[in-house]
């Protein structure tokens, strides 16, 4: 057990005797080990490098603002906490775990009972908690700190394994002092060893003379969080034996050589250092977004960037503007300004779904590639959702320049090397770094596009929550489609916004159709409004202008701006149509006599398929396309790409059909830049109905008079179905009520009534009528038509009960509010959910949805062999993907396994009910293939496999499942 190697510098020079035998790490295979003093020194050195070269300036400023000597104190504190984080390993409860190392310590007088004789009591002293107690004792006894004062610093030690201790755990350990020091003759020696290590850390890391000054500091909880997270990251890097080898192999290397080699091997990209963008907004947008010749920056974009520049301090910016106004570009322009002013080191773009995340990711990359770069600058990039490894843009980045670094928290498996499929030119500046992978670390990447769940997880009590907070604390956060989140999700979002305000994180919120009451809730959550505030936030909710920008700094007063729209408007004639498919087919046949492209949006997949069946009989299979959520991933992506290719903007689309009908569910509602001549839609909430209208005459085709559209479709028209309009009070179909609730549908119908046919009416003018319609539909005091009162009140009572239930259930695992400065994080995630991840179960924790079953769809041939599904087209490199063999007795080839994984499918709600889900899982597990469960089969290991027969059918849990490339999954009762 070598301890004396190497020059006596650093911590080693300050230590003598038994303390050198205390161990921190052990490798059972090689019998290598690492002394505790060395790991403390390694961790502190990593923290120093992270602070200087990786941590965003905004986070460093957050910590520095709370300390007497500002930035110098902040760095010293971070390094010192990382250095002392494992002091709890200098205890009998930890040291007894490796017999040979324990015996060496005993030979130097550090007596301890064996691990077996300690029994269950040992679990009362996990080394993080033990370290917190020891550090607290030392601060109290040696430096005169009060118990309440020490906790806000020592919690970074106690919580460095992901969960800050609870008060009960601290009390329980206090009743078992023998776990910290063996009673008897060696008790004093144990105490001396612990003090030697703590005193050596204080001297080595420069805090000896600062501890007296820090006694009066009250650390806000956000500062405690980021310090704890920094300790965790430092520990994980310093615990990597590839970077920091164990003794005896590395016993002779100096401390400086050791950290220099490790840091070079890690090669971690630094934080973004944003420069103030050009003052000329035309120059800014042209350089960042490749504006077409003659295009001008739009008023909303100009107002957003100018407001970001003039705010007292970067804060919350809410952009409400019509579809097609360039809100995404406005958000990125404002983000660049915010980052330059605040020191943020990256951007997180949060979107409603994986599909919208995939669509945003290349746009984010394009923007990044046009940002001015410092010499040698490298940026870490992430696509944050559960199927990001199937995205070509992201996997191309993962395959560039692999870095040797161990992933400590997840066995993701290595990506097979393959040529680029995305067609994106290689950029040396953008990397998906190997260390920044895995469920707990990935969000630490500088630039992230992902689902809103990743942001909402920051409001969920879960393990390693501090890392999620560190990840967002150093970024500008952009939240798209803010209107799309219900009460349950909004409860989490508001709590996250309150923490973002406390971190002083700049946030940009985007929406085309935001109810005024929701606008006020967002602003209040972020600004941290308290009782007695002088500003009346009612002004925010009373503003009816549109477009509208609302800005507020943390703790500040909101500012409103009212830029004009870009100038182009669309008048949409609204007409009700009875919910009869033959009548719909007749109407469309008449409308499309001279050609045209129609979008029919239905509120349920069942209604999509029923409508498509009738319309295909009338127009032919080739002239009707189906799009909904129940397609396998690869088909869903192909559907989106095909819709954009055929129905996208005139300058980008190709092959627009002369006559075509697209029947879609809500997937056509958002984030698809598609343009149709006629819209038919089921009645839905007013804001979503307006989103659907945004796909109608979205672009000019043949100038202002739309001369390139068929003559009878040059006036924009929307037919509203899914309702029995013949009765006194409209009755939405049952499927729509199940999705949206009767109250929202009735309020939407009431708002639309002045625009519907059957009486005096006028068209809906977009964008002028967007805000009035949404506010009318959502304002609690809006009048309802005569005779509707009883129905609306009954529906509202059910709605209020449902919302109250959502809020109550969301509160179960929701993170608490930011507490007063100085209050330690003890019990911060008590009664939490454990680990939070991007699986269907994890998403169900922050969305009010049942856990859904996800399967990988393959085909089972008559001889029992398995293959990939037969309709897949070759990839961009010409490789065959259809009918690839999936042998049951061995790991499939990397290409076959990845192709199969790309055929993931989320089963519909029928399979989310407990009894049906249990039965389905049981039946699916009958096709359990042990050969696929090994590490080399990371694409398929642990997946549920749904095998279709040659007719693309199967039976599951009493249902018949039929799948086709054109229609997706159709589910019927087995008896139907």
Are 361 and 449 in contact by the 8 Å Cβ rule? The answer is yes
Q: Any idea which residue has 């078992």 for tokens?
A: 176
CB under 8 Å to 105, separation ≥6 — which residues?
A: 18, 21, 22, 23, 95, 112
Closest of 163, 167, 168, 161 to residue 148, by C-alpha: 167
Edge to edge, what strands does the sheet with 953-956 contain?
953-956, 959-964, 968-973
E-assigned strands of 638-786?
Answer: 659-664, 678-682, 716-721, 723-724, 731-732, 764-766
Q: Count how many residues are written for the chain.
A: 976
pLDDT in tens, 890-901: 999 999 999 999
User: What are the φ/ψ torsions at residue 945 (nearest 5 degrees)?
Assistant: -105, 125
Beta-ladder partners of 904: 856
Kindly state the tokens that stand for 644. 């954009």
Distance CA 321, CA 563 (A): 9
pLDDT score of 545:
85
The mean pLDDT value of the chain amounts to 89
Measure Cα distances from 478 to 348, 506, 586, 639 in Å.
Answer: 6, 9, 45, 27
CB under 8 Å to 814, separation ≥6 — which residues?
A: 459, 460, 461, 491, 492, 495
Distance CA 380, CA 394 (A): 11
Are 652 and 717 in contact by the 8 Å Cβ rule? The answer is no
Q: How confident is the model at residue 531 (pLDDT cuts 50, 70, 90)?
A: low
547: cis peptide before it, omega within 30°?
yes
For 516-528, b where at least 16 C-beta lie within 10 A, e where not — what string?
Answer: bebbbbbbbbbbb
Distance CA 411, CA 399 (A): 17
- Asked whether the predicted pLDDT for residue 263 surpasses 90, the reply is yes
Closest of 862, 915, 575 to residue 725, by C-alpha: 575
DSSP string, 46-68: HHHHHHHHTS-HHHHHHHHTTST
Distance CA 148, CA 139 (A): 11
E-assigned strands of 444-497?
Answer: 447-451, 476-479
Q: Any idea which residue has 């039965």 for tokens?
A: 919
- Asked whether the predicted pLDDT for residue 840 surpasses 70, the reply is no
pLDDT score of 758:
59
- Asked whether the predicted pLDDT for residue 385 surpasses 80, the reply is no
Distance CA 795, CA 781 (A): 15
pLDDT score of 483:
81
Q: Is the pTM of this model over 0.85?
A: yes
DSSP state of 37: H
Q: Which of 135-144, 382-391, 691-700, 873-882 has the highest mean pLDDT?
A: 135-144
Closest of 682, 679, 702 to residue 766, by C-alpha: 679
Are 438 and 468 in contact by the 8 Å Cβ rule? The answer is no
pLDDT in tens, 607-618: 999 999 999 999
Distance CA 151, CA 154 (A): 5
CA angle 24, 25, 27 (to 5 degrees): 160
Across the range 40-62, mean pLDDT stands at 97
Q: Topology of 13-252 in CATH?
A: Hypothetical protein af1432 (1.10.3210)
CA angle 914, 847, 319 (to 5 degrees): 160
Measure Cα distances from 816 to 460, 787, 812 in Å.
Answer: 9, 44, 10
pLDDT score of 413:
33
Kindly state the tokens that stand for 40. 């403390």
For 115-137, b where at least 16 C-beta lie within 10 A, e where not — what string?
Answer: beebeebbebbbbbbbbbbbbbb
pLDDT score of 407:
32
Q: How confident is the model at residue 375 (pLDDT cuts 50, 70, 90)?
A: low
Measure Cα distances from 120 to 125, 126, 767 in Å.
Answer: 10, 12, 67
- Asked whether the predicted pLDDT for residue 930 surpasses 50, the reply is yes
pLDDT in tens, 665-677: 999 887 778 999 9
Query: In the chain, what percentage of residues exceed pLDDT 90?
Result: 68
For β-strands 596-601 and 559-561, DSSP reports them as unpaired
Closest of 875, 900, 874, 904 to residue 885, by C-alpha: 900
Neighbours of 260 (CB within 10 A): 14
- Asked whether the predicted pLDDT for residue 207 surpasses 90, the reply is yes
Distance CA 808, CA 814 (A): 10
For β-strands 507-511 and 316-320, DSSP reports them as parallel
pLDDT score of 392:
72
Determine which helix (DSSP H) or strand (DSSP E) holds 361, and give its type and residue range.
helix 354-370
Which 3 state secondary structure label does DSSP give 340? helix
Distance CA 300, CA 282 (A): 13
In the chain, list all ranges with CATH 3.40.50.300: 570-766
Across the range 275-304, mean pLDDT stands at 92
Are 719 and 679 in contact by the 8 Å Cβ rule? The answer is yes
pLDDT in tens, 161-203: 999 999 999 999 999 999 999 999 899 999 999 999 999 999 9
pLDDT in tens, 842-868: 556 777 666 678 999 999 999 999 999
Beta-ladder partners of 945: 856
Across the range 773-789, mean pLDDT stands at 90
Kindly state the tokens that stand for 91. 């205890």
In the chain, list all ranges with CATH 1.10.3210.30: 13-252
Least reliable range by pLDDT among 418-432, 506-520, 674-688, 796-810:
418-432
Instruction: Specify the CATH number of the domain 570-766.
Output: 3.40.50.300
Least reliable range by pLDDT among 237-241, 410-414, 582-586:
410-414
Least reliable range by pLDDT among 138-147, 184-193, 602-611, 800-809:
800-809
Number of helices (H) and strands (E), helices first, in the chain?
34, 27
E-assigned strands of 623-684?
Answer: 624-627, 659-664, 678-682
Neighbours of 773 (CB within 10 A): 23
């Amino acid at each position: 057990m070598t301890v004396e190697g190497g020059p006596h510098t650093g911590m080693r020079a300050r230590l003598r005797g038994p303390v050198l035998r205390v161990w921190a790490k052990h490798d059972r295979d090689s019998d290598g080990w690492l002394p505790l003093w060395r790991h403390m020194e390694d961790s502190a050195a990593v923290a120093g490098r992270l602070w200087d070269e990786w941590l965003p300036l905004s986070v460093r400023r957050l910590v520095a603002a709370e300390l007497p000597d500002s930035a110098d104190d902040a760095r010293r504190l971070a390094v010192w906490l990382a250095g002392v984080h494992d002091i709890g390993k200098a205890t009998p409860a930890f040291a007894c775990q490796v017999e040979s190392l324990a015996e060496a310590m005993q030979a130097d007088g550090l007596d301890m009972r064996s691990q077996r004789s300690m029994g269950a009591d040992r679990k009362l002293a996990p080394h993080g908690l033990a370290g917190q107690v020891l550090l607290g004792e030392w601060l109290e006894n040696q430096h005169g700190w009060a118990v309440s004062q020490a906790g806000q610093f020592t919690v970074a030690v106690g919580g460095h394994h992901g969960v800050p201790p609870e008060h009960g755990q601290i009390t329980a350990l206090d009743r078992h002092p023998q776990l910290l020091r063996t009673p008897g003759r060696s008790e004093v020696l144990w105490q001396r060893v612990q003090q030697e290590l703590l005193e050596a850390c204080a001297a080595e890391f420069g805090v000896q003379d600062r501890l007296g000054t820090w006694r009066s500091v009250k650390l806000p909880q956000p500062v405690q969080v980021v310090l704890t997270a920094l300790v965790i990251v430092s520990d994980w890097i310093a615990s990597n034996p590839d970077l920091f080898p164990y003794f005896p192999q590395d016993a002779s290397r100096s401390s400086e050589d050791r950290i220099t080699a490790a840091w070079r091997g890690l090669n971690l990209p630094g934080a973004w250092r944003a420069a103030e963008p050009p003052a000329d907004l035309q120059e800014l947008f042209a350089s960042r977004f490749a504006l077409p010749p003659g295009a001008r920056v739009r008023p909303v974009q100009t107002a957003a960037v100018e407001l970001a520049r003039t705010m007292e301090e970067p804060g919350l910016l809410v952009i409400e503007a019509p579809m097609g106004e360039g809100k995404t570009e406005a958000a990125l322009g404002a983000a660049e300004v915010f980052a330059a002013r605040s020191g943020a080191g990256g951007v997180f773009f949060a979107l409603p779904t994986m599909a919208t995340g995939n669509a945003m990711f290349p746009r984010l990359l394009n923007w990044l590639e046009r940002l001015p770069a410092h010499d040698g600058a490298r940026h870490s990039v992430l696509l944050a959702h559960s199927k990001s490894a199937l995205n070509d843009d992201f996997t191309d980045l993962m395959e560039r320049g692999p870095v040797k670094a161990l992933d400590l928290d997840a066995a993701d498996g290595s990506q097979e090397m393959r040529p680029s499929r995305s067609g994106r030119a290689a950029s040396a500046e953008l990397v998906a770094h190997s260390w920044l992978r895995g469920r707990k670390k990935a969000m630490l990447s500088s630039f992230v596009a992902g689902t809103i769940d990743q942001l909402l997880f920051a409001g969920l009590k879960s393990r390693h929550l501090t890392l999620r907070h560190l990840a967002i604390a150093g970024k500008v956060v952009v939240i798209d489609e803010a209107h799309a989140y219900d009460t349950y999700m909004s409860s989490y979002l508001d709590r996250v916004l309150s923490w973002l305000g406390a971190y002083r994180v700049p946030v940009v919120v985007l929406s085309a159709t935001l109810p005024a009451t929701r606008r006020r809730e967002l602003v209040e959550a972020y600004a941290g409004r308290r009782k007695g505030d002088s500003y009346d936030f009612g002004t925010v909710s009373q503003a009816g202008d549109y477009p509208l920008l609302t800005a507020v700094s943390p703790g500040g007063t909101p500012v409103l701006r009212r830029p004009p729209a870009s100038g182009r408007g669309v008048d949409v004639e609204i007409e009700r149509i009875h919910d009869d498919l033959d009548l719909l087919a007749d109407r469309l046949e008449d409308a499309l006599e001279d050609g045209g492209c129609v979008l029919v949006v239905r509120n349920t997949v069942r209604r999509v398929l029923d409508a498509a069946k009738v319309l295909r009989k009338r127009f032919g299979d080739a002239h009707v396309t189906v799009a909904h959520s129940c397609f396998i991933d690869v088909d869903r992506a192909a559907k989106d790409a095909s819709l954009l290719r055929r129905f996208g903007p005139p300058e980008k689309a190709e092959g627009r059909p002369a006559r075509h009908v697209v029947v879609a569910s809500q997937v056509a509602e958002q984030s698809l830049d598609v343009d149709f001549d006629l819209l038919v839609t089921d009645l839905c909430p007013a804001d979503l109905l307006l989103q659907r209208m945004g796909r109608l005459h979205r672009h000019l085709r043949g100038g202002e008079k739309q001369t390139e559209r068929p003559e009878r479709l040059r006036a924009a028209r929307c037919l509203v179905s899914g309702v029995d309009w013949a009765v006194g009070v409209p009755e939405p179909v049952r499927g729509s009520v199940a999705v949206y609730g009767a109250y929202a549908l009735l309020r939407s119908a009431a708002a639309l009534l002045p625009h519907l046919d059957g009486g005096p009416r006028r068209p809906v003018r977009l964008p002028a009528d967007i805000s009035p319609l949404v506010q009318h539909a959502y304002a609690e005091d809006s009048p309802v038509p005569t005779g509707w009162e009883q129905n609306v009140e009954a529906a509202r009572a059910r709605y209020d009960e449902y919302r109250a239930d959502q809020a109550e259930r969301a509160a179960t695992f929701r993170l608490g509010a930011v507490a007063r400065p100085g209050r330690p994080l003890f019990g911060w995630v008590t009664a939490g959910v454990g680990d939070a991840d991007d699986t269907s179960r994890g998403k169900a924790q922050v969305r009010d949805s049942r856990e859904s079953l996800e399967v990988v769809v393959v085909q089972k041939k008559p001889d029992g062999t398995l293959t990939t599904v037969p309709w897949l087209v070759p990839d961009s490199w010409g490789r065959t993907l259809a009918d690839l063999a999936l042998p049951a007795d061995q790991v499939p080839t990397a290409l076959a396994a990845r192709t199969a994984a790309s055929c993931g499918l989320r089963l519909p709600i029928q399979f989310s009910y407990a009894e049906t889900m249990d039965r389905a899982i049981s039946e699916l597990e009958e096709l359990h293939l042990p050969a696929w469960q090994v590490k080399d089969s990371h694409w398929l290991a642990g997946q549920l496999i749904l095998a279709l027969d040659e007719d693309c059918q199967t039976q599951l849990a009493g249902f018949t499942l039929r799948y086709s490339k054109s229609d997706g999954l159709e589910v019927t009762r087995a008896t139907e």
